[in-house]
Amino acid sequence: MIMRGVAIYTRVSTEEQAREGVSLEEQKERLLMYCKALKIEDPMYLFVDEGYSAKSMDRPQLQSLISKVAKNEIKCLLITKLDRLSRNLLDLLTLLKIFREHEVSFISISENFDTSTPSGRLTLQVLGAMAEFERERIRERVIENMEHAARKGKWLTQHPYGYRLKDGTLFIHEEEAEIVREIFDVFVNKGRGYYFIAKELNKRSIPSRYKKQWSNRGVKLVLSNPVYKGTLAWNRTDSSYSTRKLKDEKEWIMLDNELPAIIDKETWNKAQKRINEKPIHSRSQTRPHLLGGLLKCGQCGGGMSISWSGSKNKRYRVYRCSRNKNNGTCTSKGYRADDVEKWFLEGLENLANQLDSEVVVQLSMLERESQKDSEEEVKRLERRYKRKAEAYAEGLIELDDLRKEKRKLNDVKELNTKNKSTKVDLKKYRKEINKAFCKLKYSLESLPVLEAKDLIKLVIEKVIISGEKDIIIQIKV
Please enumerate in sequence order all residues whose Cβ is within 8 A of that of 202, keeping only pairs 6 or more positions apart, or say none: 213, 214
Q: Is 374 a catalytic residue?
A: no
What DSSP letter does each residue of 328-342 carry, written as one string? Answer: S---PPPEEHHHHHH
Question: Which one, of 169, 184, 165, 149, lies nearest residue 259 by Cα?
Answer: 169
Q: d(Cα 200, Cα 196) in Å, to the nearest integer?
A: 6
What residues pair up with 74 in beta bridges, in sequence order? 5
Q: What is the DSSP letter of 298?
A: T
Q: d(Cα 97, Cα 78) in Å, to the nearest integer?
A: 16
Give the 3-state secondary structure percentages of the chain, helix then strand then coil, rounded to 5. Answer: 55, 15, 30
Q: d(Cα 343, Cα 432) in Å, to the nearest integer?
A: 23
For residues 402 and 393, the answer to whether their CB atoms sit within 8 Å is no
Q: Which of 13, 53, 64, 215 is catalytic?
A: 13
H or E element that contains 37: helix 24-37
What residues pair up with 309 in beta bridges, in sequence order? 316
Sign of CA dihedral 97, 103, 109, 113: positive
Question: Which one, of 298, 303, 296, lies nearest residue 323 by Cα?
Answer: 303
Instruction: Provide the annotated active-site residues.
Output: 13
